[in-house]
Amino acid sequence: MTTLSARLSDADETHGSHGAASSLIGFIGPGGDTAPLSARAFGSKAAQLWRMNALGLNVPPAFVLSTALCGKAHGEKRISALLEQGIAYLERVTARGFGDRRRPLLVSVRSGAEKSMPGMLETVLDVGMNAATTRGLMRLYGNPRLAADCRRRFIEGYFEVVAGLPRGPFEDVLRTVQTAEDVTSDRELDPEALDRLAGLYLDLARDRFGTGIPEEPMEQLRAAAEAVFRSWDAPKAQDYRRLNHLEDLSGTAVTVQAMVFGNASARSGSGVAFSRDPATGAPGLYADMLFEAQGEDVVSGRRQPVGLGRLEAMLPDVATQLAEGVGALEAAYRDVQDVEFTFEDGRLFFLQTRSAKRTPRAALKIAVDLVAEGLRTEAEGLALLDGIDLSQVGTTRFTGTAEVAVQGVAASPGTVSGRIAFDGEAAKRLSEGGEPVILVRPDVATDDIAGMALAAGVLTRVGGRTAHAAVVARQLGRVCVVGCAALAIDLDSRSARLGPTEVREGDWLSLDGDDGTVFVGRRESVVDRPETDLATVAGWTARAR
C-alpha cells in the first residue's frame, strides 16, 4: 500500500487532529479526531459515534466521508484516495488487513445525514469478503459457520443495495435451500448449506441479471460507498424528507466502520434499545434483540426479535452494561436515545445513538418527566414539544366488547379501525374514498413509507417494536401492531387469514396498538386526555409568558 501522505494531494482534506476543519474525511477511534465531528459535515451518525467514543463507550473504530461528497462531481479518484486513507487508519488500529488472508478486516458501509432518516438510506455489511478472506475469517475465529454466513450476507447486501437487483428471486433461492435442508430459518443452515446458497446467489445474478461481485476488496468498498451516496436520491428517501420537511438537508455522509460480529456465536447478537418507551414515554429500558444476528436482522423487520429478558437471562453482564451505557447516553444528551448495539462473544459494542422518534403522547410524558428529573428546564421542555398539537394528544381506547381475532406485538399506541389494504397502491385507492385504511403486510420495508403515510394503521406478520417500520409509524403517529404470527396473506387473491377468519382487501379491521390485539370489523373509540401532564405544560407556558 502507498503511504498516507501519497494518498491525498490536498493537505486540507483531513480533519480535526489531522488537519483543517474543512475536511472531507474524519476518524473515530484511537488516534482519531480530537475535535468533535460536525453533524452537518459528517452526518449525525458519525457525530454521535465520535461522542460515544469520547464518553468512553466501546465503539468500533471508523472513518467517515463528508456529506460534501454526496451528489457532487468530486471524481472517483479523489473518493478512492479518501477510502484508501481511511482503510489504512482502520488497518493500523485493528491490526488487521483489508483483504488479508490471515487476519482479514471487514467493514460496514453506512449512511448518515445531518438529521436522522431511519432506514431510508442504505447500508452494506461485511464488505471485504471474497474467497481468500472467507478462509482467513474461518482461521481467525475458528468458526466455519461465521465465515460462510458473513459471505452469504455480503452477497445478499451487495446485490440488493449496490447492484440494485430485486430481492424476490434471491428470497426464492433461500426458501429452496431451506426446504432442501428441512429448516425454516437461515439461522439453521450449516456452513455447507450457506456456501451452497452463496454459490446459487452468484449463479442467479450472473445468469439472470448479467452481473457479479468484484473480488478485490477496494473495488467492493468503492462500489458500496457510491451506492450509499446514491441512495440519497432514492424515492423512499425523497418521500421521507418531504413528509418530514427535511428538503434543506445537503446529503448523506458515508461511515465505514470495522465490523463486529453479532453472528459469531451463541453468546453474540444485535439489537436496538430505547432509554424510555418511545410509544408511551414510560421510563425504563425498551429493547429488542436477536442472538446470532447482525444488526440489519433486527431493524429490517424481516425477523422476529426477542425482548431484553432473554439477554438478562443468558448474558447478565452484557445486559447490565447495556442499561448503564444507554442511561449514560440519555444523561449526556438529556433526551431519550435510540441506541443500536452488537455483542460479540459476550463483549458489548455501541454502534449508533440518536434522539428517539416518539409519538405525541410519549413526547408529552417524556418532556414532563425530563423537567421533573432536572435534566431539562421548563423552557427546554416546551421546546421538545414544539410542533405538537397538544389539543390532539390523548389515548384512544375501544368501547364495548368484541372477540379478539389474533394477537400481535404492540409497536405504536392507540386504536384505529380501517379498510384493509395490502400495498401502497391499494392504500391510495381506498383512502381516496375518505375512509381510514390499515396497511397489512408480511413485513413493512421502508420502501412502503408512502403507503404508511396514507394509512391510519399498520399490521405486519413479522418484525419487532424497534424495526425501522415501527420507528417510522410512531413518528408518523400511526397505530402499529407487528409480529402477528397468526396472520397469513395471499396477495394473489387479495385476501388474508387472521387465525381461522378470512378477510379480503377493503374489509374493515381494528387494531389496538396498546396491547397488540387485532379485531375483525369496525369498532368505536373514545379518547382519554392526559390532563395532569397537560396542566403541567400549561403552567410552563404561563410562567414563560
pLDDT > 70: what percent of the chain? 95
CA-angle at 519, arms to 513 and 523, nearest 5°: 85
Nearest to 478, CA basis, from 543, 409, 414, 540: 414
Is the pLDDT at 126 greater than 70? The verdict is yes
Q: How far apart are CA 455 and CA 438, in angstroms?
A: 5
Q: How far apart are CA 21 and CA 319, in angstroms?
A: 38
Which pLDDT score, from 0 to 100, does residue 72 have?
Answer: 66
Which DSSP category does 161 fall into?
Answer: I
Which pLDDT score, from 0 to 100, does residue 73 have?
Answer: 58
| pLDDT-derived band at 25, boundaries 50, 70, 90 | very high
Which pLDDT score, from 0 to 100, does residue 487 have?
Answer: 95
Query: What is the H or E stretch that residue 197 is in?
Result: helix 191-209
Please state, rounded to an integer, the average pLDDT across all residues of the chain: 91
Q: Are strands 269-276 and 252-258 parallel, antiparallel or unpaired?
A: unpaired
Task: Give mean pLDDT, residues 437-461.
Answer: 87
| pLDDT-derived band at 19, boundaries 50, 70, 90 | very low
Is the pLDDT at 9 greater than 70? The verdict is no
Integer CA distances (angstroms), 189 to 105, 144, 169, 271, 446, in order = 25, 12, 19, 22, 27
DSSP 341-386: EEEETTEEEEEEEEEPP--HHHHHHHHHHHHHTTSS-HHHHHHHTT
Is the pLDDT at 267 greater than 70? The verdict is yes
Which pLDDT score, from 0 to 100, does residue 5 have?
Answer: 28
Task: Give mean pLDDT, residues 391-406.
Answer: 89
Task: Give mean pLDDT, residues 384-398.
Answer: 91
Is the pLDDT at 301 greater than 80? The verdict is no
Which DSSP category does 116 fall into?
Answer: -
Nearest to 478, CA basis, from 505, 513, 443, 530: 513
Amino acid in the structure at residue 527: V
- Give pLDDT tens digits for 58-85: 999 999 999 999 976 556 778 999 999 9
Is the pLDDT at 474 greater than 90? The verdict is no
The three cell numbers of residue 431 are: 383512502
Which pLDDT score, from 0 to 100, does residue 13 have?
Answer: 37
Which pLDDT score, from 0 to 100, does residue 75 have?
Answer: 63
Which DSSP category does 163 fall into?
Answer: S
Which pLDDT score, from 0 to 100, does residue 23 have?
Answer: 87
pTM: 0.84
Which pLDDT score, from 0 to 100, does residue 248 have?
Answer: 87
CA-angle at 287, arms to 286 and 288, nearest 5°: 145
Which pLDDT score, from 0 to 100, does residue 446 have?
Answer: 66
- Give pLDDT tens digits for 354-379: 999 899 999 999 999 999 999 999 99
